[in-house]
Structure 1
Amino acid sequence: MTLTPVEPLPEREVRVRAPGKINLSLRVGAREEDGYHPLSTVFQAVSVFEEVVATPSSDRTLSVAGVQADVVPTDGTNLALRAVEVLAGHVGVDEGVHLHLEKGVPVAGGMAGGSADAAAALLACDTLWATGLSRAELIEIAAHVGADVPFLLMGHTAVGQGRGHLLTPALTRGDFHWAFAVQDRGLSTSDVYTRFDELHGGVPGPPDGQDDVPLMHALRAGDPHALGAALHNDLQMASLDLDPMLAEPLAVAEDAGALGVIVSGSGPTVAALARSRQHALALAAAFTASGVADRVLTASGPVAGARVVSSD
């Protein structure tokens, strides 16, 4: 009898996609004794994505592909590997894993690409290791990894308090369309906060978010014109001070009829709110034609948080 060779089983892999974010509003209090700034922010997840593929491994390792992959650390300083360590410690797992990151969110661009990787890594390893944690439990663990990581698991639109990790879902209606002027030069978040402190130090005590009532009304009404008028970022002045060239994409977007334009988070990505998907393409074309961006993206929001795309 002739035996037919048996093909080896394919290596199991879990692929997870997580979105980037923008801060529709970011209000920053004065730095506290622990070195952190209390925040009141309104997050929106947008359709610019990171993908993380997790496969079994004897060690815990990481590789990166995509735009700006060469500037992403692959050692223990990477937030995705940090997320793996936090999850493994929480559930008592000793297994290794290899993470492969496929970058789509700008690196050091104020859109939380690293936090999206960490959120995706948490969900991917939870699935790979069959730990059975609920989404609420993963969000709680995510707060120990980084301030933006819980929101990238939650997605959609949410109000963030504390360091941004205390989340309350926000009611929204319809979709909002964006064009992004991306710079390959990053801005260090810590440098932006330091410059913010030097410029004015923030309001005393935690911001309460009362100034964002018009913004919340605009979201509930699905009114992009009102939302554009309500966009706010306390860090924008500090980002512009560190990178004065950011004034150029801000001006281009305004001249092209953006409903609102803002530096995303700590920058340097500039986000322009459009009237429609077609208008977002027109804003992107204006960024490109004027030469004020290294890359241009368009996206819509809100979108869901980290999700398993495939699990073999």
Structure 2
Amino acid sequence: MSEAYAAARVHVRAPGKLNVFFEVGDVQPDGYHDVASAYQAVSLYEDVWAEPSDDFTIAVSGSVDVSGVPADDRNLAVRAARLVAQRIGHTGGVHLDIVKHVPVAGGMGGGSADAAAALVACDALWGADLGSAELHRLAARLGADVPFALMGGTAIGVGRGDQLSPALAKGRVDWVLVPSGDGLSTPEVYAHLDRLRSSHDVPAGADAPEVDPRVLQALRGGDATALAEHIRNDLQAAALSLKPDLREALEVGEASGALAGIVSGSGPTLAFLAADAESALELQVTLSAAGYEALHVHGPVPGARVVG
């Protein structure tokens, strides 16, 4: 790689995600869970700007509460930048400006989107040209959701969720999101699911999780009504147990015209599936009038991409 920079400043945008279907297996001896997920990237984005620096530094702002986001080496985006530098032998650093719009600790993979954006931005900034396969390999070292934030679209994830294969999806799917002011810790939600299962309050996990083929069929056919019948999230029971107030919001959304409502990932963001864009706008207005913050998004959208 040349020591000359390929660009003076690089802007990358990466999407948040929804788990349209999420089956969680029983806890493994190493404390992790095998999962099967149908991911969909949606039009709520993280923006990352990368520019040359002598060190690895970061600034975080956004339209969501970022007070809990680390602005040091604990940040996944900084770890991503260091991985690229290590991989190509780059001796300098990078400054990352992150502008967040995906709810923090909201079950939509915002931190993973930041990391994916940082991988793409540093690859472009330093003229590394690592290629998609190598970026995905690096992404998998950072966390299960980072490879999907790179890929975008609609995909099936198995194993720890990072073994991805694209899924055919026809047309546009409209969602209305209701974020929560307080985030949920993903490890805490998984641990609570294990407790609920051990006390038999919820069914045990599958030995070999898999995505319901009816979900894939609905996505292929662009059939929101059919999709609503089969969306599922095994983490939902744990999230609702930890934040009981989410139940009321779910009930309000489902009674206000949503085809279905679901906790997004480990929560606490709620995602309501709408029949079409017009129905989503009506649902957004109704939920806003009821006192909830409501965002209209759609999917699928592309993964992390250089802007401009």
User: What TM-score, normalized by structure 1, do the two folds share?
Assistant: 0.93
Q: Write the letter of the residue equivalent to 2:295.
A: L
Q: CA–CA distance in 1 between the matches of 2:91 and 2:103? A: 32
- The alignment status of 1:21 with 2:17, answered yes or no, reads yes
Corresponding residue SS for 1:125: helix
Q: CA–CA distance in 2 between the matches of 1:36 and 1:88? A: 29
Equivalent position of 2:57 in the other structure: 61
CA displacement at 1:92 relative to structure 2: 2.0
Q: Write the letter of the residue equivalent to 1:207.
A: P
Q: Residues 45 and 152 of structure 1 are in contact (CA less than 8 Å); yes or no, is this contact kept in structure 2?
A: yes
Q: CA–CA distance in 2 between the matches of 1:98 and 1:206? A: 42
Q: Residues 153 and 302 of structure 2 are in contact (CA less than 8 Å); yes or no, is this contact kept in structure 1?
A: yes
Residue of 31, 37, 41 corresponding to 1:41: 37
Q: Write the letter of the residue equivalent to 2:239.
A: S
Q: CA–CA distance in 2 between the matches of 1:237 and 1:65? A: 32
Identity among equivalent positions (%) equals 51
- What per-residue deviation string (whole Å, max 9, x for no partner) do you get for residues 46-69 of structure 1? 000000000100110100111212
Unaligned residue ranges in structure 2 (runs of 5+): 1-6, 199-203
Equivalent position of 1:74 in the other structure: 71
CA displacement at 1:204 relative to structure 2: 4.7
Q: CA–CA distance in 1 between the matches of 2:188 and 2:267? A: 11
* Pairing of 1:194-273 with structure 2 (within 5 A): 194-200=191-197, 202-209=204-211, 212-273=212-273
Q: CA–CA distance in 2 between the matches of 1:119 and 1:251? A: 34
- The alignment status of 1:157 with 2:122, answered yes or no, reads no
The runs of at least 4 consecutive aligned structure 1 residues that moved more than 4 Å come to none
Equivalent position of 1:5 in the other structure: none
Corresponding residue SS for 1:143: helix
Unaligned residue ranges in structure 1 (runs of 5+): 1-10
Q: CA–CA distance in 1 between the matches of 2:90 and 2:31? A: 32
Equivalent position of 2:99 in the other structure: 102
Q: CA–CA distance in 2 between the matches of 1:169 and 1:104? A: 25
Q: Write the letter of the residue equivalent to 2:12.
A: V
CA displacement at 1:136 relative to structure 2: 1.9
> Which of 1 and 2 has greater Rg?
1
The size of the alignment, in residue pairs, is 296
Equivalent position of 1:298 in the other structure: 296
Corresponding residue SS for 2:229: helix
Q: Residues 24 and 206 of structure 2 are in contact (CA less than 8 Å); yes or no, is this contact kept in structure 1?
A: no
Equivalent position of 1:309 in the other structure: 307
Q: CA–CA distance in 1 between the matches of 2:84 and 2:224? A: 39
CA displacement at 1:205 relative to structure 2: 2.5
Equivalent position of 2:3 in the other structure: none
Q: CA–CA distance in 1 between the matches of 2:170 and 2:269? A: 25
Corresponding residue SS for 2:37: strand
Q: Residues 44 and 297 of structure 2 are in contact (CA less than 8 Å); yes or no, is this contact kept in structure 1?
A: yes
- The alignment status of 1:174 with 2:171, answered yes or no, reads yes
Equivalent position of 1:138 in the other structure: 135
CA displacement at 1:272 relative to structure 2: 0.3
When the two chains are superposed, the root-mean-square deviation of aligned CA atoms in Å is 1.2
Q: Residues 27 and 233 of structure 1 are in contact (CA less than 8 Å); yes or no, is this contact kept in structure 2?
A: yes
Q: 1:206 to 1:86 in 2, by over 3 A?
A: farther
User: What TM-score, normalized by structure 2, do the two folds share?
Assistant: 0.94
